[in-house]
Amino acid sequence: MKNDIKYRYNILRNFIYDDNTRKKCRLDNKKYENSFSRKRKLPFYNILLMTLNKQGKNVSFEIRDFELNKKGEKCVNYSDEAYLKQRRILNPDIFKEMKNLYLKDFYSKPRYIKKKNGYILCAIDGSKIEIPNTPLNREIFRSEGNQHKRKIARALLSGIYDVENHFFLDVEIDRVDSNETRLAKKNIEAIQEIIGKNKEIIIFDRGYPSIEIFNWLEKQGKKFVMRLSSNDYI
């Protein structure tokens, strides 16, 4: 088990320092085609490592912790603004790719996977979340009024979680007025590449039951358990 964890650690480490990853860190826009090209004080791999090292502190403390404690540097030779500028142009999809690399290796070794009667137990749920209340976020994700009738930017999250092995396999984010069932389908489709030949049972909370989702799951050949309200009629 320890050797496998070390192996997956090395997979991620090699990926982070691979020069091909530099290109994957760039946003998909011609404006950013030369991002992370030069070896600056903040190379792309340090941006990745620092983001993974985040502990919920403010930016200054996060930078100091990474540079002084993790890297062993004697001082920080760049500003908070320089770090934030680089982080803003980092393609967030890079973290999903890293997550998939790690999980694919885990689920390719059945002897370590905890199952119930041969099935991985996966739970799906969605939730509305508040996001930074910027004009751009309100335009992209839409907004809802709070108790003070002020428009607040919100988004809809949907996640699928391996209950026994304690991994979030996939998380989708969309407009706050999006359809929760549609996002759940995206979750289910996304994990197939991760879990490979392993079979799963999907657990749904109330709010999902409908003829449409039952029919879709049956066509996909999925086993599922769905909680019903007392007044649900199927």
- CB neighbours of 12 closer than 8 A, spacing ≥ 6? 98, 101, 102
User: What pLDDT is recorded for position 146?
Assistant: 67
Cα separation, 194 vs 191, whole angstroms: 5
How do strand 199-204 and strand 223-226 relate by DSSP bridges? parallel
User: What pLDDT is recorded for position 70?
Assistant: 86
Structure tokens at 35: 């991002």
Angle at 12 between CA 11 and CA 14, to 5 degrees: 70
Cα separation, 215 vs 202, whole angstroms: 14
How do strand 151-162 and strand 143-145 relate by DSSP bridges? antiparallel
Cα separation, 224 vs 216, whole angstroms: 11
User: What pLDDT is recorded for position 160?
Assistant: 98
Nearest to 141 by CA among 149, 130, 150: 130
* Domain spans, the chain: 2-95, 114-127+157-226
Please give the chain's pLDDT, 234 residues, in tens. Answer: 677 888 999 999 999 999 899 989 998 877 777 788 766 778 899 999 999 988 888 999 999 999 998 889 898 989 999 899 988 999 999 999 999 999 999 999 988 899 999 999 999 999 999 999 999 999 999 988 766 667 899 999 999 999 999 999 999 999 999 999 999 999 999 999 999 999 999 999 988 999 999 999 999 999 999 988 777 765
Per-residue DSSP letters for 160-225? Answer: EEETTTTEEEEEEEEETTS-HHHHHHHHHHHHHHHHTT-EEEEEE-TT---HHHHHHHHHHT-EEE
How do strand 167-175 and strand 223-226 relate by DSSP bridges? unpaired
- CB neighbours of 66 closer than 8 A, spacing ≥ 6? 46, 49, 50, 53
User: What pLDDT is recorded for position 29?
Assistant: 77
